[in-house]
Amino acid sequence: MTTFLCPLLGNGVIVMLERYYALPSTADRIRALWLGPAIERYAVWLAERRISGARGRGCIAVLIQFNCFAQAHGARDWSSLPEQVAPFIASRMRRQRRSRDRHELQTRRSQFRVPVEQLLRLVIAGYVGTVRRSPWPFSTIAPHFPDYLRDERGLRWPSIGGYAGHLRALQRYLARTGVGKLSQLTPRLISGFLTAHARHVRGRQVVRCAGNLRVFLRYLHRERILPKDLSRAVPRGRVYQDAALPRAIPWTDVDRAVTGIDRRSAVGKRDYAILLLLTTYGLRANEVASLKLDDLDWCAVQMRIVERKAGNTTVYPLAGTVGDAIITYLREARPECSDRHVFLTVRAPFRPLVYWDVSQRAAWHLRRAGVRIPRVGSRTLRHSCVQHLVDADVPFKVIGDYIGHRTDVATQNYAKVAVHKLRALVIGEAEDIL
């Protein structure tokens, strides 16, 4: 046994298993296992992250099963444990009830994989386990391209992630066509990629992909990775301004989704406050996720939204309903955590929500309320907020300032949903109504 991989901890180790098991005999039985010292260290790791008792016992139960499996299959030292992970998961999955639901199968597999890999990262130096995120595309050829986007072009990480998605699609296309090197890239291959990519995404995404590809090709030529600048070979598509309608839904549907949230749980209290922010102020998902406790001025009854998309900061009066919802969440549902972000996950280890978390929670509640539209999410509530203001005859300049638009042109897109104003224009009752 390679005991040097699990250094002795203080007296704090002794009490950690008792935190998850009421009977001392149960804790003693776990300590007596072959992986007992490692499981003790894992219990400390769980307690430091305030993992609940039920979840902690579930993780430790998986490790007990892994201990028996590894010993039964010839493992003699901890360094040989990584090769036992895949067979262990396969054996446990065979004992589970069969399901055709892909998401359910992935969830069950994670229930066995995650605790084992967390344990091995603690006791085996250099162990990585399953890599959840795909590596950056073309990272071996152009490893500093993300740094170029961030440092020289000044892009934020959501925009940089968009580059990664488009370049990953290009990487897959080149692999399918048998092109192994970027030096073999030709204008014909570029055109073929964009044609194939257009079958799976919308027109605006194709234009954005072409723009990202031009930036990437210019960078490769600048770094002398490509002998020629192929950016001029990327065709320029055309997307007409105001060609699509905003994704707004009737205000009755918005009200049904917000009021239908079950606020008896911590998740419900958090999501209720989030949806009120989205619908009342028309905030973007990233602006809600970035909201911090310091941005709430309770004495002045104000809320500050910083680092908006337009680069400005907006101060809003804190509406009574929204303020009450946030206070209820902070007092009754927000986990005890040193992080200053307002909205956190409800399960340990606690972390701030990111923008896709906010959008997914909004989409879940909208679907639960019976809203059936394409691409439902937090943007749907933002557009609905604007349409609600348009229907109330609020001037477009005021609406643009309220929701944080950089220019008036962006707000004019919502003129298409001002049906009552358009009707007045058609019949000639008001020429300057807009």
CA–CA dist 170, 137 (Å, integer): 9
**Angstrom distances, CA of residue 242 to CA of 209, 300, 383, 424, 430:** 20, 39, 14, 21, 23
Task: Note whether 400 and 300 are same-domain residues.
Answer: yes
Q: Which pLDDT value is given to residue 2? A: 41
Task: Note whether 258 and 228 are same-domain residues.
Answer: no
Q: Is 139 inside any structural domain?
A: no
Task: Note whether 18 and 94 are same-domain residues.
Answer: yes
Q: If pLDDT is split at 50, 70 and 90, which confidence band does 12 have?
A: very low
* pLDDT at residue 131 tops 80: no
> pLDDT digit string (tens) for 142-157?
999 999 998 888 887 7
Q: Is the pTM of this model over 0.85?
A: no
Task: Note whether 155 and 196 are same-domain residues.
Answer: yes
CA–CA dist 222, 144 (Å, integer): 12
- Collapsed DSSP state (helix, strand, coil) of residue 42: helix
Q: Is 244 inside any structural domain?
A: no
> pLDDT digit string (tens) for 234-269?
987 666 555 556 667 888 999 999 999 999 999 999
What are the DSSP calls for 331-357, one per residue? HHTS---S--BS-B-SSSSP-B--HHH
Contact 127, 83 (CB under 8 A): no
> pLDDT digit string (tens) for 390-427?
888 888 788 888 888 777 666 766 665 555 555 555 55
The neighbouring-strand residues paired with 296 are 303
The total number of structural domains that make up the chain: 3
Q: Which pLDDT value is given to residue 7? A: 39
Q: Is 135 inside any structural domain?
A: no
Task: Note whether 219 and 268 are same-domain residues.
Answer: no
Residues 6+ positions from 149 with CB-CB distance below 8 Å: 155, 159, 160, 163, 215
Q: What angle do CA 37, 337, 361 make, to 5 degrees?
A: 105
**Mean pLDDT across the stretch 373-377?**
82
Task: Note whether 320 and 227 are same-domain residues.
Answer: no
Q: Which pLDDT value is given to residue 183? A: 83
Q: Which pLDDT value is given to residue 51? A: 81
Verify cis geometry, omega within 30 degrees of 0, for the bond prior to 374. no
CATH code at position 322: 1.10.443.10
> pLDDT digit string (tens) for 203-226?
778 888 999 999 999 999 999 999
Task: Note whether 262 and 408 are same-domain residues.
Answer: yes
Domain containing 119 equals: 3-123
Task: Note whether 265 and 227 are same-domain residues.
Answer: no
CA–CA dist 388, 418 (Å, integer): 10
Q: Is 392 inside any structural domain?
A: yes
The neighbouring-strand residues paired with 352 are 344
Task: Note whether 270 and 412 are same-domain residues.
Answer: yes
Report which of 351, 334, 357, 362 is spatially closest to residue 272, judged by C-alpha positions.
362
